[in-house]
């Protein structure tokens, strides 16, 4: 198993982040990495998820939802072809980091027999860049809820 993890802190609340994250239809409007999520956010449900890693060919996955905790966590498990060939457990973790501040962690634990072939590209390529781009876009989306006083 290998894990890729990115984190960002910004002004906002866990509820505001969750409101944006769980509005699946709106991801196409703001999310440069996960451009489509269709399905129901409940454990055991199957999703259709379109990933667009920066500089790479996009892929549609069909992961199974593992955890849904409003204002706290969304987690799913996807497979390439069949389980244990190439698996990815994707997690979005939302935590309060201080008054009016939130920490958003996006991570994925990868495993399977093909992991050694893909790991360097995941870590150094479009997937890691996509995580960071999504995190930054989420922070900007939440910031729109908090116009700064001039």
Domain boundaries, the chain: 2-143
126 pLDDT higher than 70: yes
pLDDT the model gives residue 150: 41
Write out pLDDT tens, residues 130-142.
Answer: 999 999 999 999 9
Between CA 40 and CA 43, with CA 42 as vertex, the angle to 5 degrees is 130
Q: What is the pTM of this model?
A: 0.93
**For the chain, first and last CA: distance in Å?**
48
Here the tokens at position 16 are 């505001």
Instruction: Provide the pLDDT for residue 62.
Output: 97
Q: Kindly list the distances between the CA atom of residue 85 and the CA atoms of 78, 79, 112, in Å, as whole numbers in the listed order.
A: 11, 7, 5
Average pLDDT over residues 17-34: 97
- What is the architecture of the domain spanning 2-143? 2-Layer Sandwich (3.30)
Q: Which residues contact 10 (CB under 8 A, 6 or more apart)?
A: 101, 102, 104, 139, 142, 143
69: left (phi over 0), alpha (psi -120 to 50) or beta: beta
Q: Residue 40: how many CB atoms within 10 A of its CB?
A: 11
pLDDT in tens, 52-99: 998 899 999 999 999 999 999 999 999 987 788 899 999 999 999 999
Above 50 in pLDDT, residue 149?
Answer: no
């Amino acid at each position: 198993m290998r894990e890729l993890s990115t984190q960002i802190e910004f002004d906002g609340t866990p509820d505001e982040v969750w409101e944006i994250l769980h509005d699946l239809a709106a991801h196409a409007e703001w999310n440069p990495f996960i451009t489509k999520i269709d399905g129901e956010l409940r454990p055991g449900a199957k999703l259709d998820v379109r990933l667009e890693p920066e500089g790479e060919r996009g892929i549609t996955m069909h992961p199974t939802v593992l955890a849904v905790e409003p204002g706290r966590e969304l987690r799913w498990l996807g497979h390439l072809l069949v389980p244990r060939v190439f698996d990815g457990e994707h997690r979005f973790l939302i935590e309060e980091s201080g008054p009016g501040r939130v920490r958003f962690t996006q991570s994925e634990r990868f495993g399977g027999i093909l992991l050694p072939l893909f790991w360097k590209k995941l870590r150094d390529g479009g997937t890691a860049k996509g995580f960071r781009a999504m995190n930054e876009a989420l922070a900007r989306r939440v910031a729109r809820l908090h116009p700064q006083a001039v």
